[in-house]
Structure 1
Amino acid sequence: MAVNFDPFRDLDRVTGALMDIRGPRLMPMDLYREGDVYILNADMPGIDPGSVDIDVDGQLLTIRAERTMASHENVKWITRERLSGSFLRQLSLGQGIDTEQINATYANGVLTIAIPVSETAKPRKIEVRAPDEHVLTIAEGRTQSAK
């Protein structure tokens, strides 16, 4: 009988338990490029949109959010898997991002951030000309066409 051994399973379990006790939690996200815009979708169910804080410092995008659970007196929890507390995600944007035009929306528990590519970073076409079209020579301090 073969036993599937996963040395990381217990490490993941212990790390998960520690993350529940202290420190900000991560939010799962997808990131893709659509044309000239990067789209980031982060799952944040149950988060009050007013608690979401997004800022850009240089090339570092930081997303913070807070989920608070209603307190129930005289309740004996059977299971409590929904995490409360602070959530944090930081991304290095790299070069070529128009940080002034970043915008965000929150709907159905998903935060969507549109991160546009800057005009200088967009691909552009460079025209190739024949060598004799714009060859300039300098003669007696003047510039003239060599056609």
Structure 2
Amino acid sequence: MARAYDPFREMERWFADAARTPTSAAMPMDLYRDGDVFVTRIDLPGVDPASIDVDVDDRTLTVRAERKVETTDSQKWLVRERPAGTFARQLTLGYGVALDKIEAQYADGVLSLRIPVAEEAKPRKISVAHAGGATEIEGSLAS
């Protein structure tokens, strides 16, 4: 029995492992597939858009962002729950994605990445040509 090949299985496994790290608290993420595109949304409230860096090296997509704390000498912290500093999250991408067509957009504190499925990874029908043509039976042509 044929088994469907899922080039994103490794990426999904990595996301599950990453969900158990402290980074997930600072950069919570959703991931879903919408047709031929994987979409990830990463919450980055309070992050300067200029500090967001997204790059791909081999099959690893890395998102880095910095959230700065504005402090003055007269401040006395009573509660400080919002994480600050530089955060990074890495995603291992499968071989079935179009790395050159990844799109990123930051709006309302959410970074959205659209990772399209590569054309060669999309399922397609293969037509079967019939090699047998007309055959001759006792002097007459039959097909």
- Normalising by structure 1, what TM-score? 0.71
Q: Does 1:118 align with 2:138?
A: no
Q: SS at 1:46's partner residue? A: coil
Q: Does 1:28 align with 2:28?
A: yes
Higher normalized contact order (CA 8 Å, seq sep 6+, divided by chain length): 2
RMSD between superposed Cα atoms in Å: 2.2
Q: How many residues align?
A: 114
- Please tell me whether the aligned partners of residues 26 and 89 of structure 1 are also in contact (alpha carbons under 8 angstroms): no
Q: Which residue identity is paired with 1:31?
A: L
2:80 maps to: 80
Identity %: 50
For residue 76 of structure 1, report the CA deviation from its aligned partner.
1.2
Deviation, structure 1 residue 75: 1.4
* Counterpart contact for 1:26–1:88, Cα < 8 Å: no
The secondary structure found in structure 2 opposite 1:100 is helix
CA offsets per residue over residues 8-28 of structure 1, 9 Å max, x none? xxxxxxxx9xx6xxx9x7511
Code of the residue aligned with 1:118 in structure 2: it is A
In 2: Cα distance, 1:32 partner to 1:66 partner:
25
Question: Structure 2: how far apart are the matches of 1:130 and 1:112?
Answer: 47
CA distance in 2, matches of 1:98, 1:65: 24
CA distance in 2, matches of 1:26, 1:69: 14
CA contact (8 A) 2:54 2:61 kept: yes
The 5-angstrom pairing of residues 1-147 of structure 1 reads: 26-132=26-132
Map of 1:144 onto structure 2: none
Task: Tell me: CA distance 1:27–1:98, structure 2 relative to 1, closer, same or farther (3 Å).
Answer: same
